[in-house]
Amino acid sequence: MPALTKAVALTKTKGVFIARVHTGPRHAQKPAISAARKSAFQKILAKARVERAWYQDRQMMASQAIQNAISKRQLVKVDDVAGLVRIVHSTGGPSGVQYPYLTPESRGLLLGIAREFGIRRDALKLGKFFLSITSMTRDAERQEALRNEGYPAARQSTHGFGEAFDINVKFFRRNRHPHYRIILDVLAELHRKGAINFIDETAINGALHVARNPNYKGPLF
């Protein structure tokens, strides 16, 4: 009877053992976020703590504040760069760029990373596959909506004031390992230098998260 005993879970509640019989997926209640996803998200949150310190717990901006920052050019537009960068715009769902804007410094960081990626890619004569950017600036309203819809999103994020972006690497991981290796190396080098915080979020959203360290003044490469 090993199969049957496996299906019975004993839980001790207030000194009484209660047997719960698991009768399969038909009766199983599906949680909004799986346990594995939750644990991966907790690890990501822990790694993002350094960013909260760098930016002294700065709050995410609401949509109106972002519009103001754009008009004052505190946030600047980031465009596609042929053969190097493609911005994946949001179509209203959870993924994609809501505002294709970053601070001038973070825009410079993104372009510097892309340039270095291109130099190393071309030196190895690899195919001209570009970096796919799936997140830049996001407003507080959007973040709240994501949380309400059950997506793992931090309460506060450097995405909320234009100091972070995500590079989606799903395609590289599946099809182009040399390209994947290059972008990992480039980001790991910047991370070691203290220029960025780099979080591998591939378990959650297929992306590598990059946030600029405002205290770093040295060269990128």
- Which residues sit at the interface with Zn ion, rule CB under 5 A? 166, 209
State which residue, 53 or 82, has the beta carbon closest to Zn ion: 53
Smallest separation (angstroms) from Zn ion to the CB of 206 = 12
Give me the phi and psi of 173, to 5 degrees please: -65, -35
Smallest separation (angstroms) from Zn ion to the CB of 175 = 23
Which DSSP string corresponds to 114-181? HHHHHHHHHHTT---PPEEEEE-B--HHHHHHHHHTT----SS-GGGGT-EEEEE-HHHHHH-HHHHH
Smallest separation (angstroms) from Zn ion to the CB of 3 = 44
Smallest separation (angstroms) from Zn ion to the CB of 24 = 37
Smallest separation (angstroms) from Zn ion to the CB of 80 = 19
Residue number closest to Zn ion, CB atom: 209
Q: Give residue for tokens 């997140």.
A: 135
Give me the phi and psi of 35, to 5 degrees please: -60, -40
Residues 6+ apart with CB under 8 A from 199: 44, 47, 48, 208, 209, 211
Q: Give residue for tokens 């309400």.
A: 148
End-to-end CA distance of the chain: give it in Å, rounded.
Answer: 63
State which residue, 163 or 166, has the beta carbon closest to Zn ion: 166
State which residue, 209 or 212, has the beta carbon closest to Zn ion: 209
State which residue, 182 or 199, has the beta carbon closest to Zn ion: 199
State which residue, 179 or 212, has the beta carbon closest to Zn ion: 212
